[in-house]
Amino acid sequence: MASLYTDENVDRAIVVLLRAAGHNVLTAHEDGRANQRIPDPDVLARATHLGRAVVTGNRHDYHKLHRRNQTHAGIITFTDDHDRPALASRIDAAISPLPSLAGRLVKVVRPNPPPTP
């Protein structure tokens, strides 16, 4: 399973669910790096130094970081929804089949709601 680093804005429930799915997850809080306004490039560099892919809902900034430089341990972005088990399941499904996350940008998107009749 994947070694992940969640930024400080990832909901704790998602962390718990990803761990239950077998992923090795370190949070920014557990790493002593929460609530310090650490810039995104530094968060990515820290995760890469630790050999972990960043998990974040901050799609805009991390997509730009990936376009600038693909030398990282991986970036997983997601569109948020309030169904935490479904979101964690989509993240797991997106990354589990990959042999490596190094240098990859994995975009996990919320499915469109069914049309109303």
* pLDDT, block means (10 residues), the chain with 117 residues: 95 97 97 91 97 97 96 96 93 96 96 74
| Within a domain: 114 | no
91 lies in some domain = yes
pLDDT at 80: 86
Domain count, the chain: 1
β-bridge mates for residue 53, sequence order: 4
The pLDDT of residue 114: 72
Query: What's the CATH code of the domain at 98?
Result: 3.40.50
**Chain position carrying tokens 């990832």:** 10
- Asked whether the whole model's pTM tops 0.85, one would answer yes
pLDDT the model gives residue 56: 97
Q: Alpha-carbon dihedral of residues 38, 11, 14, 46, nearest 10 degrees?
A: 10
Instruction: Provide the residue range defining the domain that includes 93.
Output: 3-108
Residue 57: the pLDDT is 95
